[in-house]
Structure formats: structure tokens, C-alpha cells
Structure 1
Amino acid sequence: MIRGTAATASDASAASAARAALESSGSAIDAIVAGFFAAAGAQPDVLLAPAVALAAGVGVGARAFDGRAIQPGRGAPRPRGFVDGQSVPEAARVAVPRSLGMLVLLHGYLGRARLRELVRAGVAAAERAGASGRAELLREVGSLGAVALRARDVERALLAVGGPVAGGTLTAEDIAEAVPAEVEAASTSIADGATALQAPWPVAEQARPADAIVACDGWGTVAALAYARTDDGIAVPELEITLGRDAVPVRRGITRLAPGTPLPAAAPIAILQRSTLAAAVALTGKHSIDVNALGALLHGTALEAALHDVRTRLHAEGILAVLRDDRDARAVHLAPGFMAGPGTQPAGD
């Protein structure tokens, strides 16, 4: 791998694709984008899952990218709403996805490879899984970006499971106007003169845990991405994908959540910076991360041992990180059950 680069992920297919992208273009942004699409090809519930990302480095600043799903209902009259005791159809929980728009925005910010190159691993994974519809959608994303969702057959498939006819509030206007956001990351001063960056919006406790991808490159960019999969999603048969149950159903007599409102999504990712040291860290099994615990990475302890300490303090299932300094870069993923002893040596993933 190119000197100063490293990547890992909570999903094996995402980790492999992220490392391959680093070998090809050397870009941390390309790595996390390729990793996401690889996971999206392998699993049906990734492509339109709520997603958030962080990127920081020299010439990059400290940016947060918002791909959380938003409440549907743009351009449509307020529905009557459901009453207590009434069965709520699955369609009423279909939200407006913004993950693809966010990935395209992130890639346009600092990506180096063409988007069609970054979806190849995902297309191959979908084909191996026998999901030809998902593979074709990924190809369209590689060619058109987020505009692929506005293609007539794709839009029709999404509205069939989340639109008014199915009992939901998703509209074509929702899909067309689902714009992601890019903002300054929240910065917190922690121990030993270090700064921690994270998403600036609050993370609700009801947000389901997320998978994550982290990467760094030789240009000094460090990046992290989290995406919230679902165990109980809503299938879109034509596209061979699954949507999360993220929208808030309209209740009769209760003020509805305004269309376009971002919905809760996990963001258990952070970037740590001090002088020439930078790290991207992500937790699994948690909806957020307490950045004050990251000071353990600054004490000269072996990386695995320091990460084990952070995971234990924050009661996370797993933890993954990339760390770079003026000498080299390392990646580590401590899956659930890993125990680090005092003699653990730094090692790559």
C-alpha cells in the first residue's frame, strides 16, 4: 500500500474495496466511497441507508457531510393521519434517502478516481449475490450519481413502496429535491492539546447503531463514514434493496414532522488531530461517540491496546481506526471479543 495510507471497515467487503481504492488513487475519500458501494452491493440495506461522513486535513479543513434520511411529504397535502389503534402501513415509515447525494458530494469534494470506478466492487458483489437489479442500480449510480434515483423506473419502484398509494407520504418531489448538506464539523478541545471533530448535529438515542469505514492518505486527509443498516427493513423488490423504517408516521390530531426534517441517524465517528498526528475512529454497536475518551490514543500506548481501552470505557461492541503521523499510517479493527494485553504491538489491519 502507498506510504502514509491506511483503511479499514467494520464490513469485510467494504474494507477490501477501501484498501483497493487507496492502492489505485491514493485518496482517503475514494477509499470510503468505494467501501460504501462495496457493502451496498453485498447487502440490500446499505445503498439508501442513512449515512454521515467526516473529512479533515491540510487544505481540507474540517467538514461534516450529512446524508441522514429526511421526513417525506413535499408537495403533497397533509394526510389525515393515523389514529391510536389503527394499523400503520410499512409505507408510512419510508423516508427520503440522501445517502447517494451525500456520497456524490463527498466524492466531488476530494475524490480522485471516477465514480464509475468506485462502484465496480459493489457491482461485482451484487452480481455474486445474484442481485442483478441492485447491480444495475449501482452501475447507474456510477454513471449518473444521485440523479439515478430520479430515473423513471427507480422512482416508480420507490414510490410503489413508500408513496400515497401504498399508504406512505413519499413523493417524486421528495426524491428530486433530496439535497445533502456539507457543514463545518464540530470541534472539541480534549487532553494534551488535541482536537476532536465530529458531526455537529445531535444524535438521538433511538438511532440504530451503524457500520463504519475509516481511511487516511498520503496527502494528509483523514476520513470516516458511518451508515445505519437495518434488520427489519422494507423491501423494494424491483431494485433488490431494502429501506429503513425511518420516517415518522403522521398522527391525527398531532402536529406532523415537517417534510424535509432530518431524521435521527447514528454518527459514532470522530477525527482526532494533534500536530502531525491524525486519526479517524469509529465505534460499532453505539449510536454516538464520546470524543473525550479518545485521549487514550495520545499516550504512546500500542494502538490496539489504546483502542481496547476506548472501547471498554465507551461500552462499544467493536472499534476501528486509522492513525497517521509524520512516519507512517496504521489501521486496526478490534471486532467484538478482541482482548488486548499490555504487550500488544502496533499492527495494521
Structure 2
Amino acid sequence: MLVPNNTTNDQPAFIFIGIPGLETLHIWISIPFCLLYFMALIGNSILLVLVRTEQSLREPQFYFLAMLALADLGLSLSTLPTVLGTFWIGAHQTGLDACLAQMFFIHTLSSVESGILVAMAFDRLVAICSPLRYSCILTNRAIFCLGGAAFIRGAALLAPLPLFLRNFSFCRDNILSHSYCYYPDLLTLACGDITFSSAYGLVFVLCTFAVDALFIIASYLKILTTILRLEASDRGLRSMQTCACHLCTVLIFYLPLISLAVMHRYVHGTPPLLYATMSNIYLLLTPLLNPLVYSLKSRQIQTALQRRLWVQRVTAGE
């Protein structure tokens, strides 16, 4: 049984339990986890290299995709130490400062990714509804501003959360439901009046993910009405195909996120195994599936990847 040690530098220690009931299999579970992390890191790195080096991908939608890949890389690297530490080498314990730092990066990068998804929806909205003004609206400056705004919003709104938690004492078992530090999970372990901190967390969710989701829905409703008014059906089909990758990415990101948030706030008595499963789906599959979706759905990325591989073969042959 894991017993927290609260004597390290007079700071509370937090315990990651991994997957409850499967502790004896953690070393075997670490094998697919390592593979998933490796694939996510390689896939997103390849996307970044392609957008950086291929002239055919110098378009706003692929610049936003590169930002998304960068956020996914950050999410993977933020959770990798504790997830693999828990399952691979049995390092179940972490200190308060390390836990708060990890929590800040996870939530900030999740907010940034949500903001980038909004920017990608705006890109598709302009491309389909105002194609003649596309290059005038989505300039390099506009792209930089949208990406910067997503980062600043996430960092600014998340900055108070670690400060809130540092003001609490932790007098319980300090056993976390996930393999990483998650704000609602930490808040349930705090002793004292957490009403304001909990309310701020809810306001953060509403001001970021809820607002972003509403904007994405409104954008695609506008896109759909525009496509239905198009005279040529094949043109409408091509327009929808350009949105397919983004819609898949939106679903991959929001469905696990919403499910995990609902379970923490409104579903009591949820089995720990379900918590562990949903949390790992949220932060493992999202960075993994995003590059796969775009690689399989986007012909431009497929062509760029094939060209890149062909150049490497020719260079190796010489």
C-alpha cells in the first residue's frame, strides 16, 4: 500500500496510484504507454518539420496545424515524467512544487489547444464563406496574433490556480486519481474553504472551453449554410472535405475533456478505474490521433510527406 510522505522540505507529497486494481501489471501497461508517447512525439514532430520545410504547406491552415502540433508536444512532455514514472519504474510520489508546475502546463496547454482549434475554425469559415478575402484577412500578422492570443489567454487565466493551491494545507491521504496533477483532483484534497477556488476553476472552464466550443459550433453552422447555397454539389463536397480534419480534431479533443470534467464535478461515486481510463484517453490519445487524422485526411500533407521520403531515399542512394 502506498503511504504518502509529507516530510520532504516541509511540503506535502502526492501519490499517483496509476490504474487501481492493476498495480501488479503496471510494468506491462508501461509498454503500450511508451509506444503511444513515442508515436505522439514522432507524429507531431514530423508535422512541424513538414510545415517548416515544405513550400506547399505555407498556408494559414497548416500554420495553425503546426501550432496545434506544438501544443500536443508540450502536453505529451508535461505528462510523460509522471505517467511513465508511475507505470514503468514505480515512482509514485511527487512534491507540491513539481505537481503545481505540471498542473499549470497541462491546463495552460489544453487551453492553448482549444484556442488554436477556434483559430482553425475561423480559418475554414473565412476560406469557405469569404474566399476572395481569405489572403487579406488571414495574413501572417493575423495568424501570429491569433496564436499569441490563445497562449496569453491560457497562461493568464491559469496563473492564479497554483497560487490558490499553495495557500491551502493538505491534511488527507493526498492520493491522486490520475497519473498526473489535475486541478479538480488536487482541490478535493485541500483542507479549508475551497468555494472561491472551485468557482474560479468553473469560470475558467466557461471562459475558455465553453466559449470556444460555442464559437466552433457557430462557425460550422455558418459554413454549412454557405455550402448548402452553393450551386455546384461537387464544390460543396470539396468544401466539406476541407473541414473534415478539423471536425475530427475537435471531437478528439472535446469529448474526453468534457467527459472528464463532468465526472469530476457532477458524477459522484465514479469507479477509480473509469477515472484512470478517461484521464489517460484525454492526454494520451489526443496528441497521438491529431497527426494521424491530418496525415490520413489531408492530401497536401500526404503529398508533402511522400516528397520528403522520396528526397531522403534519393539522398541516401547517392
The verdict on a shared fold, with TM-score over 0.5 as the criterion, is no
What is the TM-score normalised by the length of structure 1?
A: 0.27
More strand by share: 1
